[in-house]
Structure 1
Amino acid sequence: MTPLGILLRGAGHEPAHYALVLATAAAAIGRPVTVLATNAGLALLRRDTPLLADPREALLAGRGVAGIGTLLEAANELGLRLIACEAGMRAEGIAPGDLAEGVEVAGVVTFLESVGSGGLLSL
């Protein structure tokens, strides 16, 4: 199937949540998926992601919707490629040790190579 690349640059819970919704859905139907997070979007890939403490997590759980925690687990199980943008990390003062386990540090060229002629989404 055609690869999907998702660029997460937006801050906050909503873009991060929907990036994971799209990524895990695409992976579940067999598409190879790469998520590149940069700048404010890097909050999703931090070891201590503040997004899990966002009040929307409890709201979503109460309504039977998978939250970021559940979707991150699914992303891992589905083999999504999660990349933290090296330049974005420098811009935000994030060290490689601040990232969650399994997150790759690379740049835009690596991201684009992984997607090839596939689709790109930006959130």
Structure 2
Amino acid sequence: MEGPENLSIVLFAGGFDRVHYALVMASAAAATNRKVTLFFTGRALNTLLAGDSDGAPGWHRLDPADDGRRPAERDAAFTANGLAGFEELLEACVMLKVTVMACEMGLRALGLPAGVPLRPDVPVKTGGVVTFLNDAPKTGAILFV
């Protein structure tokens, strides 16, 4: 295997395109037998929030895509072009045992109450930066998205 054996990705920006591509990288790395951790903080945490009362997933609240479209519109364009959609990528990460972490400080910074409902279909560990750093192997790579 070329490249790092482990990949730790910090998602601190809430732009749809950034989060979508981080899921692409995470699922591809896990599919090639790398240990992968996704550490969500800042506005990227919307990805992990449970759906709204109207049933829309939390990632619909991510910031607009680079082309200005709302997340759901951009995602529909991706799938129409034969690309993996947001839900498909997130499901692949879960299936491939990617570690998903939610930053406790990031949740507080967004003003979210303790115990805010997160997606029940995604096993999420909560922790801080120290927890993330302790999880990241010394031989791995850390990317900021």
Q: TM-score range by the shorter chain?
A: over 0.9
User: What is the Cα-based RMSD across aligned positions, in Å?
Assistant: 1.5
Give the structure 2 partner of residue 67 of structure 1: 85
Cα pair 2:48 2:59 within 8 Å, conserved:
no
Q: Compute the displacement of 1:109 (Å).
A: 1.0
Higher helix fraction (1 or 2): 1
Report the secondary structure of 2:116's partner residue. Answer: helix
In structure 2, how many angstroms separate the alpha carbons of the residues matched to 1:24 and 1:74?
A: 6
Report the secondary structure of 1:97's partner residue. Answer: coil
Report the secondary structure of 1:98's partner residue. Answer: coil
In structure 1, how many angstroms separate the alpha carbons of the residues matched to 2:21 and 2:12?
A: 12
Give the structure 2 partner of residue 119 of structure 1: 141
Give the structure 1 partner of residue 99 of structure 2: 81
Residue deviations 1:46-89 (CA, integer Å, cap 9, x gap): 12213385211110110000011100110110001100000000
- Amino-acid identity (%): 38
Task: Tell me the TM-score normalized by structure 1.
Answer: 0.93
**2:39 matched to 1:39?**
no
Aligned match of 2:26 in 19, 23, 26?
23
CA 1:79–1:67: 2 relative to 1, 3 Å: same
User: Which letter maps to 1:50?
Assistant: W
In structure 1, how many angstroms separate the alpha carbons of the residues matched to 2:60 and 2:24?
A: 15
Deviates more, 1:59-68 or 1:101-110: 101-110
In structure 1, how many angstroms separate the alpha carbons of the residues matched to 2:137 and 2:101?
A: 16
In structure 1, the gaps of 5 or more residues are none
Aligned match of 2:124 in 100, 103, 106?
103
Give the structure 1 partner of residue 55 of structure 2: none
In structure 1, how many angstroms separate the alpha carbons of the residues matched to 2:60 and 2:31?
A: 23
In structure 2, how many angstroms separate the alpha carbons of the residues matched to 1:122 and 1:27?
A: 17
In structure 2, the gaps of 5 or more residues are 52-57, 62-70
Number of aligned residue pairs: 123
Task: Tell me the TM-score normalized by structure 2.
Answer: 0.79
